[in-house]
Structure 1
Amino acid sequence: MTESRRRAPRVDAIRNREAIIEAASAVLAEQGSAVDVREIARRSQVGMGTLYRHFPKKEDLVQTVLRKDFTSWAESARTAAADAEDPWAALTDFYQQALTGYAHHRAIMEHFALAVPVPDPDGLGRLRLVIEQLCTRAEDLLRPGVTTDDLLLLLVSLGHAVQITDRCRPHMWHRLLRISLDGLRADLHEPLPTEATTVG
């Protein structure tokens, strides 16, 4: 093995990569994935050449940041649910935390629904596992027939509501969330329609 191969990455190279990812995370949250990479380079205080050495394609950078931010978003929602002792409060806190984070990240908004047909095991798959655990935990409180897929698609649907209303009517999605969760309660005995397909 040559000396160049044994040599660890330079400290400044590591620092530049971290700065690029941090800046890209902020810009993607604010502006979505259509952002110009020159803005990311400007905020990270690196040249375009340095940015392209770390991320030859814009898609590489977007996917790296989305994977990191999606995981962090899902983990925040999971933690909110885990901190609640009551199963129904856990379910409510999960949706509240997930949608609040969703409202502040345009790129996650853009990509979340697209991830449903083709799940990412490190992203949506992990989130789906959290929802599955919440569904099991609140089984006695949920109306018969409610599934993990129902709860996941509800999150996607409410995400669209956030995207449409958060800027003009920021409290509207909170109202819709409460209406939706009330409709899941077990004291509503009317059977749900059957659905053969699943998500993920």
Structure 2
Amino acid sequence: MAVAEPESTARRRAPRVDAIRNREAIIEVAAEVLAEQGTAVDVREIARRSGVGMGTLYRHFPKKEDLVHTVLNQDFSRWAESARQAAIEAEDPWAALTDFYQQALTGYARHRAIMENFALTWSVPDLDGLQKLRLVIERLCARADAAGLLRPGVTTDDLLLLLVSLGHAVQVTDECRPRLWARLLHVSLDGLRADHREPLPADRPRRKPRSRG
């Protein structure tokens, strides 16, 4: 015979279920609002559209930056997984590379918060999702190189920085010249083809200044 759960235990568990639901609702709405309006959005709108009070929102995310970071991590991860699946399904390595950039930049153009923050991830790569994206690019680079389709000397960093650069082009042209980035992508990918044999300039990282003392 089942033993009835003490009422006090049930009361303690109920708020935990509600808290999980509230957190999920906040993140879901925040993802929509950040995509629409960018990081300048007022968190009060996120709370209102989530159906929670400001106190509840701040219990889960004490600072706005915490919420933005959570959403961007989630969306970068989804972005990377979608790109990975597309790369797996593409039989031709060059088509896989091209489709990756097309899909990534199309999604980028629809997400204002990613548009605002993606360029920063080159110098401050603290998003887990970005690391997953790097792994996808690394595999695409290795696959195209193994097939003899990629220009000699092209690295994963080259392809990732190209994505950041084209993302910036999306940001500065999207409102006045939508999809101008597609032309730049075509030009850029053409420069990555193996029939371009000229040596690439050497990568010379900036030296750190010597400490005095």
With normalisation by structure 2, the TM-score equals 0.86
1:177 alignment partner in structure 2: 185
**Matches of residues 90-105 of structure 1 in structure 2 within 5 Å?**
90-105=96-111
Contact 1:135 1:148 in 2 (8 A): yes
1:157 maps onto 2:156 in alignment: no
CA deviation map 1:158-177 (0-9, x unaligned): 00011111222112111111
Give distance in 2, aligned partners of 1:56 and 1:80: 37
**In the alignment, which residue of structure 2 is the partner of 1:64?**
70
In the alignment, structure 2 segments of 5+ residues that lack a partner are 1-7, 207-213
Matching residue of 1:192: 200
Counterpart of 2:204, as a letter, is A
Pairing partner for 2:112 from 106, 109, 115 = 106
Q: Which residue of 1 aligns with 2:26?
A: 20
Q: Which ranges of 4 or more aligned residues in structure 1 deviate by more than 4 Å?
A: none
Q: Is the 8 A contact 1:116 1:124 kept in 2?
A: no
Q: What is the distance in 2 between the residues matched to 1:148 and 1:13?
A: 41
Matched residue count: 196
- Whichever residue aligns with residue 167 of structure 2, its letter is G
CA-CA distance at 1:3 after TM superposition: 5.7
In the superposition, relative to structure 1, how do residues 110 and 152 fare at CA in structure 2: closer, same or farther (>3 Å)? same
Aligned residue number for residue 50 of structure 2: 44
- Which residue in the other structure is 1:126 paired with? 132
Percent of pairs with identical residues: 79
Q: Distance in 2 between matches of 1:77 and 1:165?
A: 24
Greater Rg by CA: 2
> 1:35 offset after TM fit, Å?
0.9
1:196 Cα deviation from its structure 2 partner: 3.1
Stretches of structure 1 that go unaligned for 5 or more consecutive residues are none
Query: Residue 99 and residue 197 in structure 1: after superposition, are their counterparts in 2 closer, same or farther (change >3 A)?
Result: same
**C-alpha distance 12-121 of structure 1, shift in aligned 2 (>3 A):** closer
The answer (yes or no) to whether the contact 1:29–1:107 under 8 Å persists in 2 is yes
Structure 2 counterpart of 1:193, one-letter code: P
